[in-house]
Amino acid sequence: MPDRILCIVHQKHSRTRRVGRFLKRKGYTLDIRRPCIGHALPERLDDYAGVVVFGGPQSAYEYEKFDFIRQELDWFPTVLDSDVPFLGICLGCQMLAQVLGGRVHTHPEGLFEVGYFPVFPTDAGSEIFGDADVVHAYQWHKDGYEVPDSATVLATGERFANQAFRYGRSAYGIQFHPELTPSTMELWSGFAHKREVPGAQPVDQMKATRDAHDRKVRRWLDGFLDQWLATDARLREYSTF
């Protein structure tokens, strides 16, 4: 089986944070691509064990403003037509929804979701959230999305209704940011308050919720990545040799 994970990030200095750290700990190597500065996207994915598309300040519907967003959207069917597990986080989740026919949109009252907000697993979501009734996960986004008819809703939220979904066997989209470290959370949260982002939680509230729930989120992410990578249909082929 391949041991490389393709990671798509959306700014020159963006990092993969906990997702990358956990994957490397599991024995994978990372191929980090930045289409925003001209990095090409692979035409074939046979050499990859998974694809992760991370978040960014852009929107999925800004493909006329950003050529690389259009490039990624056009490339998504290549991933979905392969047997390679796909994970979209925040912008990556919204792009997946849009490619599958779901509308990506801002909040009707112009609110952002910045801070630790509850995420409620659906019955179908027990496949990745176990028996958790609620997960407190960090959010930083102004866009939400409609879940395509072809997908399964795995988690919902209050301010933005859709928080996680699955398409097919191995393509997942999650709106929240389990990859964030505490220091990055404080950086992003401070930035939100400098900009006076509407709907952002007070920083003290974010820190208190983080201290209470970050260990659970970290543990969930570690287990979820194992589950996600195990959905690779090619594993059955390799196991027969």
Residue 170's identity, in one-letter code, is: S
**Among 90, 93, 141, 213, which one carries the catalytic annotation?**
90
* Sequence-distant contacts of 148-153: CB under 8 A, at least 24 apart: 148/97, 148/100, 148/101, 148/102, 149/101, 150/100, 150/101, 151/97, 151/100, 151/102, 152/124, 153/122, 153/124, 153/125
Q: How many CA atoms are closer than 13 Å to the CA of 173, on its beta-carbon side?
A: 31
Catalytic entry in 7, 10, 93, 179: 179
8, 92 in Cβ contact below 8 A? yes
The verdict on whether 177 is a catalytic residue reads yes
Tokens (6 digits) for 122: 């659906």
First to last CA, the chain: 11
Whether residue 90 lies in the annotated active site: yes
Contact 30, 5 (CB under 8 A): yes
Q: Which residue has the tokens 């919720």?
A: 209
**Per the structure block, which two tokens stand in for 168?**
């097919």
Neighbours of 93 (CB within 10 A): 28
How deeply is 44 buried, as exposed, middle or buried, from its count of CB atoms within 10 A (0-12, 13-18, 19+)?
exposed
Element (H, E) at 197: none
> Which entry of 10, 141, 177, 213 is annotated as an active-site residue?
177
Q: Is 141 a catalytic residue?
A: no
Catalytic residues: 90, 177, 179
